[in-house]
Amino acid sequence: MQADALSATFSALADPTRRAMLARLAEGEATVNELAEPFEMTLPAISKHLKVLEKAGLVSRGKHAQFRPCRLEAGPLKDIAGWVETYRRYWEASFDRLDNYLEEIQKEQPR
């Protein structure tokens, strides 16, 4: 279900370590060891985070190579972007209201 896939993606992204892992993979493929390097975490802890990312379809693993390099899969991020885009007019509206307010108080100020 689309709803569940979105929930899995949002849930996977709700952790700063997992987001940092994605940012690292955005620079290129990496083995689990390379991926773990910048973090002060045990390899099992990193593997656990990696599994969450894989399950959400955000990361895939090479099947043939010995080191099974990890790779960013951006498809679920596209779905998130599509979902959040439907709310764009709401945040733009709040900035419009702020703009109008700032214009109003500037008009009221003596020059």
Residue 37 near a second copy by CB under 8 A: no
Spell out the residues 6+ positions from residue 8 whose beta carbon is closer than 8 angstroms to its own.
Answer: 55, 56, 57, 76
Residue with tokens 């895939």: 60
The C-alpha atoms of residue 65 and residue 109 are separated, in whole angstroms, by: 69
CB of 42 to a second copy, least distance (A): 21
Residue 72 near a second copy by CB under 8 A: yes
Residue 10 near a second copy by CB under 8 A: yes
Residues that bind a second copy (CB under 8 A): 3-4, 6-8, 10-11, 13-16, 19, 22, 26, 72-75, 77-78, 80-81, 83-85, 87-88, 90-91, 93-94
